[in-house]
């Protein structure tokens, strides 16, 4: 079985790699550099970015902010019409999202995500937009709704036995 992977390599194995192997390595390296370059350009030149707005908080403090926000702009029980230009808050907790948000099409909003208990992950149905809601940390997600309609919000991070019942909604109006 000499020369197989079960044996020490045949003497001289450390000499220069055959040309086709070196060529293949160059192909891999060049394509990787191209992809790395594009992904970097996308972030640092194209400004096509995930949000980096964040602050440290506590579940109690964030819940307090959400309560004040709801008191100020509430239009129906647990439903808030967010005035354009104002920041919105979305509290994740076992097992619901609070409150329901009404947004205006074509305006840019920052929605602050955080959690009152364990880690959650609000996902907007059909929109492929998912950011984490982590207790003790708030994260601002900036978005501009461009379609009207009612969108289901559900949880993407396993958060206990009621995980599949955790829901909320975002309404986009004209």
Partner 1 sequence: MEAIYTDPETGLRLDRATRRLILTFLATAFIALGGAATAALLVALTRAPAIQLLWPSAYYMTLTFHGILSLTIWPHVFEAAIWLWVGTSLLRTRLISPALGWLAYGLAALGILMILGTVASGKASVMYTLYVPLRADPLFYLGHVLYAVGLLVLMILFGLNLLKARAEGSYTGSWPLLTYGMAVSAILTVIAIIGAVAAFVPATLWAFRILVEKVDPLYFKAAFWSMGHTLQYTNITAMVVAWYATATFAVKAKPVSEKFSRWAFALYLVTTLPVFMHHLLVDPTWSHAVKWVGATFVGILLGIPSAMHGLAVPASVEKTLRSRGASGLWGWLRQWGWDNPSMVLLAFSIVLFGIGGFDGTVATTMQLNMTRHNNMWIPAHIHGALAGGTTLAFLAFSYGFLPHLGFEIKGKGLAKFQAWLTGIGFMILMAGMHWGAHYGVPRRMQDIRFVGADAPVPNWFASMNLLGIGGTMAAIGVLIFVIIALTTLLSGSRRQPEMVAEARDLRPASEQARGLVGATARVVVHEPTA
Site for partner 1 in 121-160 (CB under 8 A): 121, 123, 125-132, 134-139, 149-160
Length of the chain equals 174
Query: Which of 72/131 has CB closer to partner 1?
Result: 131
What is the CA angle 122-165-79, rounded to 5? 60
Q: Within 58-87, which residues bind partner 1 (CB under 8 A)?
A: none
3-state secondary structure of 144: coil
Q: Within 22-41, which residues bind partner 1 (CB under 8 A)?
A: 24-25, 28-29, 32, 35-36, 39-40
- Could you give the CA distance from residue 109 to residue 103 in angstroms, rounded to a whole number? 8
Query: Which of 74/164 has CB closer to partner 1?
Result: 164
Query: Which of 84/158 has CB closer to partner 1?
Result: 158
Query: Which of 47/71 has CB closer to partner 1?
Result: 47
| Contact status: 43 vs partner 1 (CB under 8 A) | yes
Q: Are 139 and 133 in contact (CB under 8 A)?
A: yes
- Could you give the CA distance from residue 126 to residue 42 in angstroms, rounded to a whole number? 24
């Amino acid at each position: 079985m000499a020369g197989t992977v079960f044996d020490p390599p045949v003497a001289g194995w450390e000499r220069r790699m055959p040309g086709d192997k070196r060529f293949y390595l160059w192909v891999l390296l060049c394509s990787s550099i191209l992809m790395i370059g594009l992904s970097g350009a996308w972030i640092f030149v194209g400004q096509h970015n995930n949000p980096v707005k964040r602050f440290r908080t506590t579940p109690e403090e964030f819940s307090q902010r959400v309560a004040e926000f709801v008191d100020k702009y509430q239009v129906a029980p647990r439903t808030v019409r967010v005035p354009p230009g104002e920041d919105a808050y979305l509290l994740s907790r076992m097992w619901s999202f609070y409150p329901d948000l009404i947004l205006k099409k074509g305006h840019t909003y920052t929605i602050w995500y955080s959690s009152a208990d364990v880690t959650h992950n609000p996902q907007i149905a059909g929109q492929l937009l998912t950011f984490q809601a982590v207790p003790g940390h708030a994260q601002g997600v900036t978005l501009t709704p461009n379609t009207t309609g009612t969108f289901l919000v559900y949880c993407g991070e396993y958060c206990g036995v009621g995980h599949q019942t955790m829901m909320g909604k975002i309404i986009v109006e004209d």
